[in-house]
Structure formats: C-alpha cells, structure tokens
Chain A
C-alpha cells in the first residue's frame, strides 16, 4: 500500500505529557499537511511543508505544537504538555504540487485522547 501512513492510530495520554505522531506521505509527494479534526467539525489546517521547509503555521497552532519534516520525507507532530482540549483526530495529508489543482490525500489519522 503506497498511501499516506500515520502512526500510532490511537493514543491515550495523561494531561501534561508530551506526545509525538508520525506521518509517512505518498513517496513522490513533495507537500505534506497536518490537520486537526474534532467531532462534528471539518478538518482544520495546522501547518504544511514543501519538502523539508515548513512554509506556514496556522494561528491555531500554539507554541506547544511543533512539526518537522527533517529530510523531506516523513514528518512528526509533537504536542508538549498536552491539555484536554488537544483531544482530537490528527490527520496528515500529502500532495504533489503542480499546476492549478493540488489534490491532497489523507492518512488514516491518529486519534488522541487526553485524560
């Protein structure tokens, strides 16, 4: 399967702990995105990378959140000092940026529960 892969699929953590999620994009895709989705809402954009460069971060992304894509391949999203409000599905997507339309394909997501 050459789709977007995320790990872990589920994470339960205690408030105040740090968590890290991993995303492996489709291999030839140069753009990688992180979104957050809560129940009853559409995904919200968090950040995106072109190759290894992080080009944009949403104002939704507090200083407790950091993302990296060190070699332009896989990416990690770390949340420090988790809060209950961080409980959500964290979605990664990738795309091959070309022309007018950039089709993004999502991974299965990581469901985070902060207790």
Chain B
C-alpha cells in the first residue's frame, strides 16, 4: 500500500512566525509532490509543487524535497490568520500508466493572532 503520512495536528503557530509542515511518502517511484490548502467545507487549492531535490520558493511558501529520505515539507513564512487551514501533501501515483495523486490526511494549521 503506497502511503503518504502527515501529522494531523492541530499545529498552532503565532502570527508572523514560520509554520513548518512535514510529509513522508512510501513510494520511491514517485516523481512529483504537491501541497494543497483546504479550508473547511471547501475543495483543495493547489499551492505549489516540487520535483527536484532541494528547495523551491514561491512568495511566502517554500517547498523542500529530499528523495533519499522520502520527505517533503512546506514552510510558510510570516504566517497570517488567513493561512489557517488544512494542508494536504500529495504525491503522484506511479507505475503501470497510473495517474492522479495519493494524498495524506492533512495537517490542520492554526495561526494565532
């Protein structure tokens, strides 16, 4: 069973601080990794993706990938109350013509004003 693991939280971070969200995956064949944000009752919204080892920055967000450790993370700098949401880590499904994503259960992030 190919899995994506996330700490469900809640993760509480003061406003203005850095929020760090982590994810591990089991399928070594996975090549691309995604972070989605989901507000309560809403659908997932793509924040960013990464496919090369190292860091990728987009505004206040930085994704980090370490394929050797099968580890992906998302850093949110200068956290705002509007960042409070569930963050879903997703990994591309690989092999045999498979497509689509395998998601973790998500980490519930709370930014405290």
Contacts and interface: CB of A to CB of B under 8 A. Distances in A.
Interface stretch (B14-22, B39-47, B73-81): B39-47
A45 B42 contact: no
**B interface bracket (residues with beta carbon within 8 Å of A):** 20 to 34
Contacts of A50: 99
Interface of A: 31, 33, 35, 40-45, 48, 50, 55-56, 89, 91, 97, 100-109
Given A33-B100, A45-B93, A45-B100, A104 B46 contact: yes
Interface string B61-74: 00000000000000
Contacts of B36: 106
A42 B36 CA distance: 10
Contacts of B109: none
B43 A42 contact: no
Contacts, number: 64
B42 A48 contact: no
B103 A43 contact: yes
B4 interface: yes
Contacts of B51: 100-101
Given A45-B93, A91-B44, A100-B51, A56 B103 contact: no
Contacts of B92: 102
A91 B104 CA distance: 16
Which of B32, B36, B100, B106 has the most CB atoms of chain A within a 10 A radius of its CB?
A: B100
A66 B4 CA distance: 27
26 contacts: A33-B99, A33-B101, A35-B100, A42-B4, A42-B103, A42-B105, A42-B106, A43-B44, A43-B103, A45-B100, A45-B101, A55-B97, A55-B99, A56-B99, A91-B44, A97-B99, A100-B31, A103-B46, A103-B49, A104-B34, A104-B46, A106-B36, A106-B45, A108-B42, A108-B43, A109-B42
B99 A31 contact: yes
Nearest to B48: A103
| Ranked 6 nearest A-B pairs via Cβ | A42-B103, A106-B43, A45-B100, A101-B32, A109-B43, A33-B100
